[in-house]
Structure 1
Amino acid sequence: MKNPWTTISTKEVYDNPWIRVAEHQVITPTQSRGIYGTVRFKNRAVAIVPLDRELHTWIVGQYRYTLDEYSWEIPMGGGPLEEDVLDSAKRELKEETGLTAGKWSELMKIHTSNSVTDEVGFVFIAEELVPGETEFDPTEDLQVRRLPFADVLRMVMEGEITDGISVAAVLKTAIRLKMS
């Protein structure tokens, strides 16, 4: 489909190592003038649902500055745009849980908030897990829990896990597990 938006001008209003924020003067699809703000990410989101033979998985807890609250999530992080997505996922799984996996499958591609950002996420299922030591980033204070996948699904359904990528990944994994 042809893009119905026309950009008149763009002004960068903020830039750091992770994001770039811009304000755009536009003509909307209905031909009215307006402004549009965008957040461009300099990394891709990568997330992992690790599953062992007993159908246990790992979740990671941390205090999220932007939300001002504690959050339980599946292991995830940012992968540089120039890095292979699967390599980024392998690195994040090792950093946050200490796990390495012998089998990887892509579960989904997801846009996290397509109204204001171009962030794209990739979610993988990791199996044939081997434990090891975590390698947390210096800024991270994480808790890692191994739980039955059914407990994590319950946490999603009861609103204990609210991170969008985690919710989508757990629900899609639950459907996949019931169909196989």
Structure 2
Amino acid sequence: MAMTHWKSVIAESKKELADTLKRFHDQDRHYAYWLLCGINRQFFELLDGKVLVPNPDESFDRNYCLSYDRPLSSKTLRSIAGIVRRTVNRVRRDIVCYPRTKAFHNRIDFDSSCYKVRSTEAGQFLELMSLQPGKRICLRLKGKSKIRGTLQLIRDTADTYSLRVYVPQQCERKERSVLSSESISATQR
């Protein structure tokens, strides 16, 4: 999804730049299209504000780095890179927006390999896996109970958190009593 988004941004940026680049020299136009030649290092460094100099030895696509008749000055490179960067940012803001999910997800599921339960005299603690390797989030639980299986950490609207523990339940078996047709008719009278 992200690759498709960036490809769309590059294609729309080229369309937006077409009229502007007609006024430029061939080498200047060539440099602008080199910055937009694909989803690669020079494209993202352009978005970071860097001014890149084409180098055929390190280029993503050697066809975009032809030898120039005249070297482009740093002022020209900065000017063209600025025009391309502003166009890309305008396209990202107004034309090709990054896809967003429609629903707000306020829960995280943890299976048994993603948490540890620790009981001490101070209480029961739950250590949840985090995005940082080797680092766990420690939560103090109210009360003591046996925790196993899948957990759900839910963020409520008031920025409070609750923990749901799913425990398999065994239901009592109910026996159906079959009423005879005589007792049914007797109750209907």
- Determine which structure has more spread, i.e. the larger CA radius of gyration: 2
Q: Bin the TM-score by the shorter chain.
A: under 0.3
Q: Which has the higher helix share?
A: 2
TM-score w.r.t. the length of structure 2 is 0.20
